Amino acid sequence: MMEPVKVGVLGLGTVGAGVVNLLARNGDEITRRAGREIRVTRAAVRSLDRARDCETGAIDIGTDARAIVEDPNIDVVLELIGGDELAYELVMAAIANGKHVVTANKHLIALHGNEIFAAADEAGVVVSFEAAVAGGIPIIKAIRESLAANRIEWVAGIINGTGNFILSQMKFEGVTFEQALAEAQKLGFAEADPTFDVDGIDAAHKLAILGSIAFGIPLSFDRIVTDGIRGIAADDIEYAEELGYRVKHLGIAQRQETGVAMRVHPTLVPERALLANVEGEKNAIMVHGDAVGPTAYYGAGAGAGATASAVVADLIDTARMMSVDPSGRVPHLAFQPDQITEEPILESPDFVCGHYFRVQVADKTGVMAEITRMLAELEIGIEAILQKDPPTAEDDARVIIVTKPAREGTLHEALDHIKALPTTRDGVVHYRVAEFED
């Protein structure tokens, strides 16, 4: 096993605490994949008095961020203090000291990325920033690596969850912009000062990064045409809907005939389109490559867990890069070969899920009661029932039932009973039901 990678964290706020917690909770799983431990050894905070949302355990915590970026025992500096000036200074110092850097700071990258990356290339270190765009959605890696064979035609996305939450509220709850904003603030989706979100600045930071990696152009934040969603009238959302559109706040980077259009603005999107149907605080990004066609990426764009997921992925990538040992490569089956374990793989009777079944029965009083009694006896809950006339056979009825999640073996026991009833006409049609949160 290789040495642990030693990480110094600047900032232990929401995201910093999320990273520390994630490494503590999934440390074994992460080591099974990465082949080496990712260990936070030092952290710098503004004030030692403040309570932390994480178990800081063996982490050496101080207030001197500069000491961390200069510490020869630190391999990777994780910049999570946000904002631009101090973050810029510390990241540049870390680079000058030969440290790799991971950051979630879109503001920093959008404004100073060109200088930062030039300095990093010069110093032979890597600055990673997956968490800077769309939180937990791996859009940077998708564009930089997975779509690297494509000429990218356009990138379009919902890259600010606050704005999308507000627009969803306006549509579904019929509230005004101001009411939706207040709700977002109450739920913690919007800051007390919502300027960066509702005026599109946060989205423009992210779009600057997306446009650059899509087209191979320098980061150009100040060239982005940026309109916010402040003051959108409920009337226009309604008219748009009547015309078959949904209003979404999109960031768009698009090759057009005369150049590249980079813009953040409220946008009418056809209602059947994928982007039109992304609701609440979620993010989604579409990327069109000339070979692959349209692709889409969806998930949580913010929050401690999602952001930490992206940050730790960057830390793992950095760890892999620090080693030329083949065992540091991405393992074929994701986990190190000696960490592949046999887990019990279930046979279908042990599956637990919802079930749909349809049975044709004699259309007599009491048949439905008999079927539902059978389910109740086996403690199978009913989600929905439908009774239908079959296309032929006038004296029959079709009973269609969707159950709540139940063990499949138990469901089959019930179906066997039902099939054996004298009032049952023929075989039972059975399909499984699955509800996966999205």
Kindly tell me which of 23 and 43 has the beta carbon lying closer to a copy of itself.
Answer: 23
Spatial strand order in the sheet of 60-62: 60-62, 38-44, 5-10, 76-79, 100-103, 127-128
Cα–Cα distance, 97 to 99 (Å, whole number): 6
Cβ neighbours of residue 88 under 8 Å, at least 6 residues apart?
A: 108, 112, 116
29 is in an annotated binding site: no
CA separation, residue 9 to residues 72, 75, 80 (Å): 14, 11, 7
3-state secondary structure of 285: strand
CB of 303 to a copy of itself, least distance (A): 8
Kindly tell me which of 181 and 209 has the beta carbon lying closer to a copy of itself.
Answer: 209
Contact present, 79 and 11 (Cβ < 8 Å):
yes
Cα–Cα distance, 200 to 336 (Å, whole number): 42
Contact present, 7 and 99 (Cβ < 8 Å):
no
Active site residue 141: no
CB of 378 to a copy of itself, least distance (A): 18
Candidates 400, 420, 405; CA nearest to 350 is 405
Which token pair is 245?
Answer: 């559109």
295 is in an annotated binding site: no
Kindly tell me which of 284 and 371 has the beta carbon lying closer to a copy of itself.
Answer: 284
CB of 62 to a copy of itself, least distance (A): 26
Q: Half-sphere exposure (CA, 13 Å, Cβ side) for 269?
A: 22
Angle of CA points 338, 339, 343, to nearest 5°: 125
How crowded is residue 373: how many other Cβ atoms within 10 Å of its Cβ? Answer: 11
275 is in an annotated binding site: no
CB of 60 to a copy of itself, least distance (A): 22
CB of 67 to a copy of itself, least distance (A): 26
Kindly tell me which of 124 and 422 has the beta carbon lying closer to a copy of itself.
Answer: 124
CB of 54 to a copy of itself, least distance (A): 13
> Where on the phi/psi map is residue 67: left (φ > 0), alpha (ψ -120 to 50), or beta?
alpha
Please provide residue 52's backbone torsions phi and psi, each rounded to the nearest 5 degrees.
Answer: -110, 150
Kindly tell me which of 32 and 67 has the beta carbon lying closer to a copy of itself.
Answer: 32
Cα–Cα distance, 247 to 235 (Å, whole number): 11
CB of 191 to a copy of itself, least distance (A): 21
330 is in an annotated binding site: no
Q: What is the 3-state secondary structure (H, E, C) of 139-191?
A: HHHHHHHHCCCCCEEEEEEECCHHHHHHHHHHHHHCCCHHHHHHHHHHCCCCC
Contact present, 224 and 121 (Cβ < 8 Å):
no
Q: Which among 206, 248, 282, 388 is annotated as catalytic?
A: 206
Kindly tell me which of 188 and 337 has the beta carbon lying closer to a copy of itself.
Answer: 337
Kindly tell me which of 62 and 337 has the beta carbon lying closer to a copy of itself.
Answer: 337
Please provide residue 367's backbone torsions phi and psi, each rounded to the nearest 5 degrees.
Answer: -70, -45
14 is in an annotated binding site: yes
Binding positions are 10-17, 106, 191
Catalytic positions: 206
Binding positions for NADP(+) are 10-17
Binding positions for L-homoserine are 191
